[in-house]
């Protein structure tokens, strides 16, 4: 697992610039929110998810994640059909905070154009630059709020 500036960002995952991650298993993609997202958001209190059978497009907002601080967007990292949502989140949204890459997964998509879309996601060195930029942006926003 890669630690980038104190955030756990596993190497085998793909990352969207809106802080969702994708774990690819054949044509099925498990989606969740990054450690960076959950730490910035704080305690997750509500998740509004799409329905199984819904079609989503890469980069499309397909749900909302609410913390005590703000409401964030769940952006689909790939296009396809939603084949499963994590029903455990109905009872415990805190799973996203406790285990963002395990029990806190959010949904699964049967991908329709995986090969070409993975090129639009980040891994490796691109992810390091992204995390550094997100930290800087967050610090600037906090400074402005004071």
How confident is the model over 112-127, as pLDDT tens digits?
A: 999 999 999 999 888 9
CA dihedral 45, 46, 47, 48 (to 10 degrees): -170
Please check whether residue 142 lies inside any domain of the structure: no
* Separation of first and last alpha carbons in the chain: 35
What is the domain range of residue 123?
3-135
Report the DSSP beta bridge partners of residue 15: 21, 122
pLDDT level of residue 145 (50, 70, 90 thresholds): confident
Residue 28 lies in a domain: yes
CA-wise closest residue to 111 among 71, 75, 83, 145: 83
What's the domain count of the chain? 1
Separation CA 92–CA 39 (nearest Å): 17
- Check which CATH number belongs to the domain holding 74 and give it: 2.40.50.100
Decide if 14 contacts 21 (C-beta within 8 A).
yes
Residue 144 lies in a domain: no
Residue 129 lies in a domain: yes
- The pTM of the full predicted model, rounded to 2 decimals, is 0.92
pLDDT digits (tens, 9 = 90+) for 56-107: 999 999 999 999 988 999 999 999 999 999 999 999 999 999 999 999 999 9
Q: What is the mean pLDDT of residues 22-36?
A: 97
Q: Is the pLDDT of residue 135 over 60?
A: yes
Domain assignment present for 26: yes
133, pLDDT greater than 60: yes
Average pLDDT value for residue range 38-43: 94
Q: Is 30 a residue whose pLDDT tops 90? A: yes
Domain presence at residue 23: yes
Phi, psi of 88 (to 5 degrees): -60, -25
Tell me how far apart the alpha carbons of residues 129 and 142 are, in angstroms, rounded to a whole number.
Answer: 20
User: What pLDDT was estimated at residue 1?
Assistant: 53
- Domain contains 146: no
**Cβ–Cβ < 8 Å for 109, 82:** yes
Q: 140 in a domain, yes or no?
A: no
H or E segment at 145? helix 124-145
């Amino acid at each position: 697992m890669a630690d980038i500036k104190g955030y756990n960002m596993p190497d085998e995952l793909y990352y969207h610039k809106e802080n969702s991650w994708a774990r690819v298993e054949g044509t099925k993609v498990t989606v969740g929110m990054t450690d960076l997202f959950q730490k910035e958001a704080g305690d997750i209190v509500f998740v509004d998810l799409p329905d199984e059978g819904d079609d989503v497009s890469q980069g499309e907002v397909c749900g909302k994640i609410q913390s005590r601080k703000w409401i964030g967007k769940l952006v689909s990292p790939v296009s396809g059909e939603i084949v499963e949502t994590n029903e455990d989140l109905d009872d415990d949204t805190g799973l996203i905070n406790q285990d963002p890459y395990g029990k806190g997964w959010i949904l699964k998509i049967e991908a329709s154009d995986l090969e070409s879309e993975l090129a639009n996601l980040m891994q490796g060195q691109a992810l390091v630059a992204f995390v550094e930029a997100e930290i800087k942006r967050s610090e600037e926003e906090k400074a402005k709020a004071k």
